């Protein structure tokens, strides 16, 4: 990525106004036309959101988007859309034992609503607040039951089964963090009390130790900062076996959305650690050692992203994609979403951008030069995402951010033109995280309180 030191957050003011205007239009279109009885909206085909049965992990992004829209604009219709649908349609996601995505679905809905009450942006009765709190307590505990023990701790296993650690689950740990901060625990056989913050920290540590590389020679593809989508363990003895991938090209290349999830999850974790009592997790690791591991991972992944992304900051879907070489020196120019060989993934950019900003803000005290670089990279990336050809301006297109990819290996993404790659479509996670990014920037630009998921828990 080529950084432009002259670009600043003030350059985004008009772009953010336009973004929220378009965002509201898209939310209204989906609310008016999408039948949630058929499942959750996942991605668009020919500009219309459709379902894709695999796991139900995107409905929280649908309703959470409306809540973020209200937060940014104050338009009450969006609060009503988000609150009504959360109450009436999200309950099955609280007790869904088959997914590792509770932090996506439920913190994005129940968590955002409770956050708005705590921030004084909406009124909430005592019963409404307790309802949201109970939901958040439940979702964190249910998420924590998907547990595999390994010699160095353990991890929340993916929908593939107890052998499988996904890099993206690092961001879903926020469900456990919120539940713990609300005073909850997981209870098992014989009333054994299991600390949710212990499991959250252990999972995060497993991710930074196994899913992220540091150039130490684990295998021939050990490049500092790269990530593997999936890590495989032997469930009999808990030992590491190999990297793998579900949505990337291979376990030995870097699926860029997985890299982005790591950057985002690390940024969110670093910025909230001061709000969690060290005594709550000191049996697992000291705060000093935890910060050392997380900051090393955050810097490594951020540097890898910047070094392996085209000049505009929009990545191709995998750094080892098999025909990427046919694009020539693709890193020396902006990404081309309309090329003939490999698709870009704008959703990875949406996710990574806010992670870079959060990591950059966190590094201000200890490494101000690097912190400023990361923060500015995230801001500059937002400028690209919030303009054409990535911002969706079509009146009939339900997506907000174009050129998102879901599952390239499985061929699930819509290809509008023969001889070209999949392009021109949106994803529910890309659109939601674009709104999170916009809200983060909106608050920074207007000197409002910092947007953090843990604002849903009273200080």
Domain boundaries, the chain: 9-456
CA–CA separation, 448 vs 427, rounded Å?
29
pLDDT of residue 54: 83
pLDDT of residue 55: 86
Q: What is the pTM of this model?
A: 0.98
Q: Classify residue 421 by burial, with Cβ atoms within 10 Å: 0-12, 13-18, 19+.
A: buried
pLDDT of residue 358: 98
| CB burial readout 52-72, b (16+ within 10 A) else e | beeebbbbbbbbbbbbbbbbb
Question: Which positions of the chain have pLDDT values less than 70?
Answer: none
Q: Please, what is the Cα angle at 174 between 170 and 175, to 5 degrees?
A: 115
Q: Could you give the residue ranges of the DSSP H alpha helices within 254-405?
A: 256-272, 287-307, 346-363, 368-385
| CB burial readout 270-301, b (16+ within 10 A) else e | bbbbeebeeeebeebbeeeebbebbbebbbbb
Assess contact for 257 and 347: CB atoms under 8 A: yes
pLDDT of residue 53: 81
Q: Classify residue 249 by burial, with Cβ atoms within 10 Å: 0-12, 13-18, 19+.
A: buried
Let me know if domain 9-456 sits in CATH 1.10.1670.10: no
Query: How many angstroms from the chain centroid is the CA of residue 454?
Result: 15
Nearest residue to 380 via CA among 428, 430, 429, 309:
309
Q: Could you give the residue ranges of the DSSP H alpha helices within 74-188?
A: 76-89, 91-94, 102-105, 112-118, 126-144, 174-181
CA–CA separation, 292 vs 271, rounded Å?
14
CA–CA separation, 265 vs 366, rounded Å?
20
């Amino acid at each position: 990525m080529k950084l432009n030191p002259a670009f600043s957050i003030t350059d985004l003011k008009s772009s953010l106004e336009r973004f929220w205007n378009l965002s509201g239009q898209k939310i209204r279109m989906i609310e008016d036309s999408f039948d949630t009885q058929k499942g959750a909206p996942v991605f668009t085909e020919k500009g219309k959101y459709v379902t894709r049965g695999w796991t139900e992990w995107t409905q929280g992004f649908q309703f959470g988007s409306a809540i973020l829209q209200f937060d940014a604009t104050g338009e009450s219709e969006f609060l009503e859309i988000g609150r009504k649908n959360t109450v009436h349609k999200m309950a099955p996601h609280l007790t869904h034992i088959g997914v590792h995505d509770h932090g996506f679905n439920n913190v994005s809905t129940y968590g955002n609503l409770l956050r708005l009450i705590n921030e004084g942006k909406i009124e909430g009765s005592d019963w409404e607040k307790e309802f949201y709190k109970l939901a958040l307590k439940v979702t964190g505990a249910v998420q924590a039951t998907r547990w595999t023990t390994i010699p160095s701790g353990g991890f929340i296993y993916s929908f593939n089964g107890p052998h499988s650690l996904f890099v993206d689950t690092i961001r879903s740990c926020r469900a456990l963090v919120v539940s713990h901060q609300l005073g909850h625990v997981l209870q098992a056989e014989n009333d054994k009390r299991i600390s949710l913050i212990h499991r959250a920290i252990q999972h995060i540590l497993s991710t930074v130790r196994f899913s992220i590389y540091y150039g130490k020679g684990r295998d021939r593809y050990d490049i500092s900062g790269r990530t593997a989508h999936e890590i495989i363990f032997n469930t009999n003895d808990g030992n590491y076996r190999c990297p793998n991938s579900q949505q990337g090209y291979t376990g030995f290349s870097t699926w860029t959305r997985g890299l982005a999830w790591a950057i985002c999850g690390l940024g969110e974790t670093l910025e909230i650690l001061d709000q969690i009592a060290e005594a709550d997790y000191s049996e697992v690791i000291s705060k000093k050692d935890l910060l050392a591991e997380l900051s090393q991972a955050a810097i490594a992944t951020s540097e890898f992203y910047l070094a392996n992304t085209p000049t505009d900051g929009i990545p191709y879907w995998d750094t080892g994609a098999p025909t990427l070489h046919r694009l020539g020196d693709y890193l020396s120019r902006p990404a081309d979403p309309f090329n003939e060989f490999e698709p870009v993934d704008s959703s990875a950019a949406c996710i990574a951008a806010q992670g870079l900003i959060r990591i950059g803000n966190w590094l201000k005290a200890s490494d101000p030069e690097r912190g400023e670089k990361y923060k500015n990279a995230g801001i500059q990336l937002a400028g690209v995402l919030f303009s054409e050809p990535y911002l969706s301006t079509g009146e009939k297109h339900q997506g907000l951010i174009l050129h998102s990819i879901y599952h390239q290996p499985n061929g699930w993404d819509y290809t509008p033109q023969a001889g070209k790659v999949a392009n021109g479509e949106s994803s529910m996670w890309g659109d939601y995280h674009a709104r999170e990014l916009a809200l983060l920037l909106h608050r920074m630009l207007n000197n409002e309180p910092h947007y953090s998921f843990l604002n849903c828990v009273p200080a």
